[in-house]
Amino acid sequence: MSSMKGEDVLEYAIKNLTHRSLRSWLTLIGIVIGIATIVVLMGVAQGVKSSIEEQMEVFGNDKLAVVPITAESMTRGAFTGRGPTSGKLTEEDAKDIESLPEVESVARIIIGRTTIEFRGVELYSPVFAGDTAIFGMWEDYFKVEEGRYPEEGESGVVFLGNDIANKYFGKNKIQVGNYMTINGKKFRVVGIAERIGTALSEQDDATIFIPYEDGKEMFKDVLAKGEVFTIMVDLKEGADANEVKEKIEEMLANNHHVSLDEKDFTVVTQEFVMEVVGKVMDMLTGFLFAIALVSSVIGGIGIANTMYMAVAEKRREIGVLKSIGATKKQIIVLFITEAAIIGILGGILGLAFGWIGAEILKGFGVPYVITPELFVFALFYGALVGIVAGYHPAKSAAEIPAIEAMKY
């Protein structure tokens, strides 16, 4: 027994588990649920992060967005799904920003919800209204599949996302040159975008974009005079985004009669978005740690109970092992190996169920990424829970006197 090899220990542990297979499977439930939950949440979090990073590459570091929301609200809203508007932006703000020497162009954006109708099918949908300069900023994102972008000075025209043109009105596919009714007014379709088709582009593929002045008139009853929802800013080549951001913050804080510490708006840069994503990921990591802690306690209790029962059932066998020279350390290793195998099996099954759950979510358009690190974590975490939970039962088995154990 003193020369017992690693493969002998593994064989012994597997044999014991197969002899009480039902109990072993029931023991796995807590670990499986915990790891599967972590795999799904982490996979979705990584998927969302990757999708945002892809969109930020298109957004570029030469563009800014000014929104009437505080930075704190944006971070909280990214995690809770709510980001309350803090203040108001105005057309005067947009003019002042456009006057900066580093700014190439500015686009004012208004967003409202209203009825849209095409060939008898009516929907209630968001409508975006903005200056045509926006298409120069987004030409790599909203690519034209058919027709063209609206041109400066046009009115009564609309540019559509691919899904709104091809899916939202049943069998009625909208084509360039067709007319549709928006808030009771006829608009001629001048362009349809290529389908973006990314995990986070569902709203963008359903875009209904009309000229700024049309939107201003359409939503005049719900907007304050001169109010805009967002100001998009395109910078000249070589301009430093952070320097321009600081200039805009000082300018608008003065316009809004607030201090920089109390500003009721946020100037969004590529760097800022990734910073917010990082904060949200930190929050999610803490949440996942709590889930992991709860699941480890539940799974650990199950493994510990199983191992205590195994020790009680195998007291005589433990006595025989000791009588032929097994040391306390070897007895501990035998039972800890058994507990670790249970934990690793829980990790493997948790991965499998987590992957299935992620695939189901994918069918609903939820992005996810399962990384190799997540696989390693699941197996390591399962084994660790097994080892920690199995140590005390293994130690108690090693402490049983050989003569006393042989009586059973």
Q: What is the DSSP string of 210-263?
A: EEHHHHHHHTTTTS-TTEESEEEEEEPTT--HHHHHHHHHHHHHHHHT--GGG-
Q: Say whether both 90 and 183 belong to one domain.
A: yes
pLDDT of 21: 57
Give a yes or no: residue 314 inside a domain: yes
Give a yes or no: residue 57 inside a domain: no
pLDDT of 25: 66
Residue closest to 91 by CA, chosen among 40, 129, 120, 52: 129
State the DSSP code for 264.
S
pLDDT tens for 112-159 read 999 999 999 999 999 999 999 999 888 888 899 999 999 999 999 999
Q: Is residue 232 within 8 Å of residue 63, measured between CB atoms?
A: yes
pLDDT tens for 230-250 read 999 999 988 999 999 999 999
Q: Which domain holds residue 144?
A: 62-268
Lowest mean pLDDT among 47-51, 52-56, 350-354: 52-56
pLDDT at 11 over 80: no
Predicted model pTM: 0.66
Structure tokens at 388: 């920690």
pLDDT at 302 over 50: yes
Strand partners, 146: 192
Neighbours of 104 (CB within 10 A): 16
Helix (H, G, I), strand (E, B) or coil at 19: helix
Q: Is residue 264 within 8 Å of residue 70, measured between CB atoms?
A: yes
Give a yes or no: residue 78 inside a domain: yes
Structure tokens at 247: 């200039």
Name the strand (E) or helix (H) holding 329. Answer: helix 328-363
pLDDT band at residue 81, thresholds of 50, 70 and 90? very low
pLDDT band at residue 337, thresholds of 50, 70 and 90? confident
Q: What's the total number of domains in the chain? A: 2
At which of 268, 303, 331 does a domain end? 268
pLDDT band at residue 19, thresholds of 50, 70 and 90? low
pLDDT tens for 91-104 read 999 999 999 999 99
User: For 153, left (φ over 0), alpha (ψ -120 to 50), or beta?
Assistant: left
pLDDT band at residue 43, thresholds of 50, 70 and 90? confident
Which residue type sits at 40? V
Highest mean pLDDT among 61-70, 320-329, 397-406: 61-70
Q: Say whether both 48 and 66 belong to one domain.
A: no
Give a yes or no: residue 273 inside a domain: no
Q: Higher pLDDT residue, 196 or 55? A: 196
215-222: average pLDDT: 93
**What is the distance between the alpha carbons of residues 204 and 187, in angstroms, rounded to a whole number?**
19
pLDDT tens for 22-34 read 566 677 777 888 8
Q: Is residue 96 within 8 Å of residue 73, measured between CB atoms?
A: no
Q: Say whether both 119 and 159 belong to one domain.
A: yes
pLDDT of 78: 46
pLDDT at 296 over 60: yes
Task: Tell me how far apart the terminal alpha carbons of the chain are, to the nearest angstrom.
Answer: 21
pLDDT band at residue 269, thresholds of 50, 70 and 90? confident
At which of 221, 239, 268 does a domain end? 268
Q: Is residue 31 within 8 Å of residue 385, measured between CB atoms?
A: yes
Q: Say whether both 82 and 104 belong to one domain.
A: yes
Highest mean pLDDT among 42-46, 80-84, 220-224: 220-224
Give a yes or no: residue 81 inside a domain: yes
Lowest mean pLDDT among 147-161, 171-185, 288-302: 288-302
Q: Say whether both 282 and 376 belong to one domain.
A: yes
Q: Say whether both 17 and 140 belong to one domain.
A: no
Q: Say whether both 36 and 99 belong to one domain.
A: no
Highest mean pLDDT among 40-44, 219-223, 340-344: 219-223
pLDDT band at residue 89, thresholds of 50, 70 and 90? very high
Give a yes or no: residue 256 inside a domain: yes
